[in-house]
Amino acid sequence: MSEIYKEQIASDPVPATTRLDRLAARKRIILLILDVLFFIVAFVLVLAFCYYLYSYRQLLVLYLPVFLDGLRVTIWISLVSVVLAIIFGLLGAFARLSRFAVVRWLAMIYVEVVRGTPILVQLLLWYFGFGAVLTQMGIDPYRIVYSLATTLQINSLFQDSNFDAYLFGIIGLSFNYGAYLTEVFRSGIQSVEHGQSEAALSLGMNSRQIMRHIIFPQAIRMVIPPFTNNFITLIQDSALLSIVGLEELEHATFALALPQVNPGNKMFVFIFGALFYLVICYPLSLFAHYCEARIAKAY
């Protein structure tokens, strides 16, 4: 019986298309044409943007060394700040999870105050507040560090006259991000199941071994996406150091753009400076998306 049915279907000359099928096919073709048109227009726009950059090439060649110097300062300050912020964050996380209530309360006050005030106010406090107080007391951190470096024969690294801005800028940034990283590390440590540390205790490990071999490796993979997002925000917040007088990328952009008389030139310099930040931050955000996707896949 089924063989006769199959024969009939196989001998059908043309498969029947309904009106709905033809409409759907037409809609797909229209969407495909719109997509192709869009890619052509996008390609033309990218070429137009490259031509826009090219039309300012004299200004570009003149200002590029200043931008690259600012970029160097921004990258260096961000890396040093993030290392110090990780140290502050780990200290804060262990303090938040400590046995002693006083230590827990101190860490909570630190996190709440630092996260509740703007980072600009904190940077101003470190540089104009504590910096001025130190100058009044007669302590000059540049002289101390320079004489220390002279005894170690590395004082050529500290020739900068703007050392105070570097010092208080790095301290301010790392103090602020230490509070955010405290919360990130604390939630990463607490996200490891309690059963893991209970099993490790039953196997006879002490708490330092548990932290190092069991909790830390598993907490790291929960910590990496928020940590990368915080790193991207730290790089963008290092632009605020231009207000304190540090010669980094945003300061270079502002100092080069403001004297321009022609509005087109002014806009170009601002856009070019923002482009540098985009070039640093966009690959990092792609990396953060990739890490999040891999972690989501793992579970």
Partner 1 sequence: MDLAVRAFPAFLSGAINTVLYCISSFPLALLLGLLLSVLSNSRFTWLRVPTRTFIEIIRGTPMIAQIFILYYGIGAILGVYGLAGLINSWTAGIASLAINYAAYEAEVFRAGFLSVDKGQTEAAYSLGLTRGQTFFRIVLPQSIPFMIPPFVNDFIYMLKDSAIVSAIAGTELTSVLNFWATRNSSNPLPLYLIAIVLYLLMSLPTSYVARLFERRLRAAL
b/e for 192-229, b at 16 or more Cβ within 10 A? Answer: beeeebeebeeeebeeeebbeebbeeebeebbbbbbbb
As measured in angstroms, the least distance from the Cβ of 137 to partner 1 is 12
d(CA 294, CA 228): 14
Residue (66 or 211) nearer to partner 1, CB: 66
Residue (44 or 220) nearer to partner 1, CB: 44
Nearest to 218 by CA among 197, 242, 233: 197
Tell me if 108 contacts partner 1 by CB under 8 A: no
Token pair 């548990």 is found at 210
68, amino acid identity: L
Among 76, 84, 236, 292, binds partner 1 (CB under 8 A): 236
Among 216, 255, 266, 287, binds partner 1 (CB under 8 A): 266
Residue (65 or 283) nearer to partner 1, CB: 283
DSSP assignment of 133-185 equals: HHHHHT--HHHHHHHHHHHTT-GGGG--TTHHHHHHHHHHHHHHHHHHHHHHH
Among 282, 290, 293, 295, binds partner 1 (CB under 8 A): 282
- How many residues at the interface with partner 1, by CB under 8 A? 48
Please say whether the beta carbons of 181 and 86 come within 8 A. yes
Q: What three-state secondary structure class fits 1? A: coil
Nearest to 106 by CA among 176, 179, 181, 172: 179
Among 65, 217, 245, 264, binds partner 1 (CB under 8 A): 264
Tell me if 140 contacts partner 1 by CB under 8 A: no
As measured in angstroms, the least distance from the Cβ of 154 to partner 1 is 32
Tell me if 201 contacts partner 1 by CB under 8 A: no
Segment near partner 1 (CB under 8 A); pick from 150-158, 191-199, 210-218, 234-242: 234-242
Binding mask 41-70 for partner 1 (x = CB under 8 A): xx----------------------------
Tell me if 35 contacts partner 1 by CB under 8 A: yes
Please say whether the beta carbons of 277 and 237 come within 8 A. no
As measured in angstroms, the least distance from the Cβ of 276 to partner 1 is 9
d(CA 210, CA 196): 9
As measured in angstroms, the least distance from the Cβ of 35 to partner 1 is 5
Sites of contact with partner 1 (CB under 8 A) = 31, 34-35, 37-39, 41-42, 112-113, 116-121, 124-125, 128-129, 132-133, 136, 232, 236-237, 239-240, 242-243, 250, 253-254, 257-258, 263-264, 266-267, 270-271, 273-274, 277-278, 281-282, 285
